[in-house]
Chains A and B, each alone.
Chain A
């Protein structure tokens, strides 16, 4: 009888413990990484680390692996870094450093022998940061890093705005461990609005930043930088307001009449897998003789070579800048086996010219496709302020008889509100064949995209 009661008690207690376990399971996920693809990740973990991770040394192992990754980076062994980044983010999904440094490695540091980034990895870098955001929604860092990747690396400030806005929402960081944002990092939102060509939003942001800096200064009067930030915000606000007046509001504005830049591009294959890109963006008449003597460089042109038919909205080619599905749905280091080369060439005295060598990096430039499109573009949004003083933020003061394009650039803010502005750019597409590139002879012909 007593034993029967005990067995009954065991069953009841076990059922209760199972019920509790069911309630615990969803909450436990807050303390641990996601388990999607866990077994794949486990098999990638070196044996000496597996036991440590099981016995409570997850973050220690993550730290040790991260140091190992760093040594690989300094040895130039980038391929070895990739799986380690993945493992470390799995072991410690709250290690912000690994996400930000990892995305930087992937997005910036996988380069060819001439230091051009392998653009095929950009979507992986963005996906890693997206994962970082999902795992760390309560700190500003990942939102900011995502914004920076769009703003600085991809140079599409209109896509960076919403991320900088999310980072901006955090309170000022009062100490090293709070989830607040360092006050100076707020400035990036204003810069992003400006480079997206939305100057009113930029000025409103500078005003708000100034208010926030003044409030912060009231609470932290002993901090030297608290006062400096106020001065910086005031200076940037005044400068942007002055530029807006000169470029758009005064009559006539400095950006009118538009300057004909006489844009043209030639692309020649000079040796196997080596091309020479040359052309003109003649802003010369804007500068007087003295300025021209100063070797002032009014900006750069973007050059992209890619397989014909390969479209990606994160390349500065603009066929379909909005709505293109390019993103990885699941993070992977597998990149498409296509040839993509992106370069910037400085404009000197109205001309640009550079040899681009793709012969030393067959892993990056496989040249498997039969035809390649070369796109050369001058983008006023990212031009230096002195050039924008003449052509405007959005190219209002720029024209060209043959290659002017008016792109509708749409910025979507964090609340889903859209701002569309016309941006006047000059752009030319040219076509090269595989035979030309491999034989080392031939000249690109103009190409019309569908």
Chain B
């Protein structure tokens, strides 16, 4: 566990010193701070737009940070040959993968918290305290969504080049946000057995990032959700299970790689 934490610590330190990560973070912060200026887009619905824009920016910036960081976590170590130094010590390969993943999600946590605090301040200035506090549900769900994305990028990074990995991760993220579409493919009327089968495979095999998009409830606080807490717990459980599946497969593949 010490080895895992040491790898995670170093991963966070390296990731936070990368210019591209800081660039996304800085860009997102600027957009969040300037978001009240976009209220002209929706007269009479300024707060709706403010919250939608802020949560969207945090989600988008987190996604790019996740992918850009995740695709290079392991390949960089292989490229720089530091992986040999690490693995020559009494460190198991699964510990290395797990350490990299932990480092990745801690970096994400830092980024989301940082953007979240700034955005919370912007909204608190315009809205009631309760409305501003609701934002933290959104930040939490974005964090779990991004944790799956980090594990997905790490999974691909053990057998794909970073370039291919970038597009694979991005593509699966986009398809995964369309949970309702894959579900309608699977269950919709007037669909052939083949279409339903493809829909089911996509729906259960791909990570369902769309589950975590709860922005609409935060943006429209008057919307009543039945068993809201249960929904969040189920999704957190889903994220943990899915991450575990991806990391175990990544460990099996990484074990077989000649590194």
Interchain CA distance A21-B215 in the complex, whole Å: 19
In the assembled complex, the CB of B59 is this many whole angstroms from the nearest CB of chain A, namely 4
- The reply to whether the CB of B150 lies closer than 8 angstroms to some CB of chain A is no
Our pick among A6, A30, A60 for the contact of B53 (Cβ within 8 Å) is A60
- The reply to whether the CB of B208 lies closer than 8 angstroms to some CB of chain A is yes
- The reply to whether the CB of B224 lies closer than 8 angstroms to some CB of chain A is yes
How many residue pairs link A and B with beta carbons under 8 A? The number is 152
Contact with B along A56-75 (1 / 0, CB 8 A): 11111001101100000000
Interface window among B22-30, B75-83, B226-234:
B226-234
What is the interface residue range for chain A against chain B? 35 or more
- The reply to whether the CB of B195 lies closer than 8 angstroms to some CB of chain A is no
Interface window among B9-17, B110-118, B175-183:
B175-183
**List of B residues within 8 angstroms of A18 by Cβ:** 204
Interchain CA distance A217-B204 in the complex, whole Å: 55
What is the interface residue range for chain B against chain A? 35 or more
A63 and B42 within 8 A (CB): yes
**List of B residues within 8 angstroms of A24 by Cβ:** 208, 211, 231, 234-235, 238
In the assembled complex, the CB of A128 is this many whole angstroms from the nearest CB of chain B, namely 18
- The reply to whether the CB of A239 lies closer than 8 angstroms to some CB of chain B is no
- The reply to whether the CB of A238 lies closer than 8 angstroms to some CB of chain B is no
B217 and A31 within 8 A (CB): yes
B223 and A138 within 8 A (CB): yes
A6 and B251 within 8 A (CB): yes
Interchain CA distance A65-B13 in the complex, whole Å: 42
Classify the secondary structure of A's interface with B: helix
Interface window among A89-97, A187-195, A256-264, A346-354:
A89-97
- The reply to whether the CB of A294 lies closer than 8 angstroms to some CB of chain B is no
Most chain B C-beta atoms within 10 Å of own C-beta, residue among A6, A23, A60: A60
**List of B residues within 8 angstroms of A16 by Cβ:** 241
Contact with A along B152-181 (1 / 0, CB 8 A): 000000000000000000000010011111
A57 and B53 within 8 A (CB): yes
B48 and A63 within 8 A (CB): yes
Contact with A along B207-226 (1 / 0, CB 8 A): 01011011111011111111
B244 and A13 within 8 A (CB): yes
B183 and A25 within 8 A (CB): yes
Interchain CA distance A420-B21 in the complex, whole Å: 70
- The reply to whether the CB of A10 lies closer than 8 angstroms to some CB of chain B is yes
Contact with B along A1-43 (1 / 0, CB 8 A): 0010011011001101110110111011111100100110000
- The reply to whether the CB of B140 lies closer than 8 angstroms to some CB of chain A is no
Contact with B along A291-316 (1 / 0, CB 8 A): 00000000000000000000000000
Measured CB to CB, the nearest residue on chain B to A14 is: B245
In the assembled complex, the CB of A90 is this many whole angstroms from the nearest CB of chain B, namely 11
Between A and B, 18 residue pairs with Cβ closer than 8 Å are A10-B249, A24-B231, A25-B179, A27-B226, A28-B210, A28-B231, A30-B225, A31-B216, A31-B225, A32-B210, A35-B183, A38-B181, A38-B184, A58-B52, A59-B52, A59-B216, A63-B41, A177-B221
| Pairs A-B, 10 closest by C-beta atoms | A59-B52, A63-B42, A94-B220, A56-B59, A57-B56, A17-B241, A138-B224, A56-B56, A18-B204, A35-B180
Q: Supply 5 further A-B pairs (C-beta < 8 A) apart from A3-B252, A9-B248, A56-B213.
A: A14-B241, A17-B245, A28-B211, A56-B177, A138-B223
